[in-house]
Amino acid sequence: MKFLSHGIGELVLKELRKASEARLAVAFFNPDNRMLDALAGLPKLKLIVSEEFAFTNPYKLEKLKLDLLRSVSPDDVHGKLHVKVLIIKRPNGSYWTLLGSANLTRSGMFSNQEACVAMEPGNPADEGSEREIRGWFDALFQRARRPDLDQAKLIYDAQSRYRRAPRPVNEAAAETGYWALKTTSGSTGEQHWPMFQAESVVAVGWEALPIDPSRASDAQLRVAIKETYPDDSNMSVSIAVMSIRKFVDLEIDDIVQVCRGYTSMQKKDVHIHGIARVTGPFRAERRRRGPLEIQT
């Protein structure tokens, strides 16, 4: 076992260029061209990444043309993926393993202050741990899923626009509202967080309503909900009117905590996807795939 605090990227490139196959599990993936070429040149590569596509570059994942690409959701039942593990198989059948703090990014490999441990083949003291690491990787690969790279690109592009935009310099005003918004549809369990990221919006459901709730009275809204969702109880309709009205009345610069769905009786911790600032007015429109210029 060897401790590494510098020269990590060059060492990884050296090992990749002579590898017969590799297994890589990493939180963030955005390598430079040299590293990407070395990965693309492998005869076989299994890759697992986090679905935090604000940081992981789906365009570079696509260049690898991998059938053996898997991803882990940030709200996975086992927790979000934060590992950095590289397992390389050499042509002679031996293994070289790297684990530590370095993501597969240009800065992680070549400029950050990182700390990693490399397990060299031929060390009997490392053999048991190396087998455990390979078993752990294979189990993670089996339960991970195939990522939707088209959706990932929308998220990455939207976040890139945010990174280029100047951040507000003013502190939150005293009258700023603070809200919690669930991303899970209560009836279907559908998760809408990827859509929020891809379209740079926060949103609520009831998309089949034929009216713009910002232009309707509560009475008109109640009638529209009842006609559109006839199976809903009177209590459900009242809750829907209240929820939609609160959402419509969000003010610019209000802060919204975006979280996974939960119930009032839930005892376990609630997963927080992110924090949003309202930057534009309410818009009533049908869901659509693709980037939006409006930002709310």
Distance of alpha carbon 41 from the chain centroid:
27
Indicate which CATH number applies to the domain containing 71: 3.30.870.10
For residue 292, what pLDDT is reported? 31
Is residue 282 in a domain? no
Tens of pLDDT, residues 77-118: 888 899 999 999 999 999 999 999 999 999 999 999 999 999
Could you give the CA distance from residue 225 to residue 233 in angstroms, rounded to a whole number?
Answer: 11
Could you give the CA distance from residue 289 to residue 296 in angstroms, rounded to a whole number?
Answer: 16
**Residue 182 and residue 113 in one domain:** no
Average pLDDT estimate for 147-156: 90
Could you give the CA distance from residue 194 to residue 58 in angstroms, rounded to a whole number?
Answer: 14
How many Cα neighbours within 13 Å face the side chain of 75?
A: 17
For residue 269, what pLDDT is reported? 73
102 dihedral zone (left: phi>0; alpha: psi -120 to 50; beta): beta
For the chain, the distance separating the N- and C-terminal CA atoms, rounded to the nearest angstrom, is 50
Q: pLDDT over 70 for what percent of the chain?
A: 88
Tens of pLDDT, residues 166-186: 555 555 555 778 888 888 776
Is residue 283 in a domain? no
Token pair, residue 32, equals 């430079």
For residue 268, what pLDDT is reported? 65
Residue-range definition of the domain harbouring residue 198: 166-277
Q: What is the pTM of this model?
A: 0.66
Average pLDDT estimate for 60-84: 91
Token pair, residue 231, equals 């199976």
Q: Decide: 99 and 116 in contact? Cβ < 8 Å.
A: yes
For residue 188, what pLDDT is reported? 64
**Residue 198 and residue 66 in one domain:** no
Average pLDDT estimate for 110-133: 92
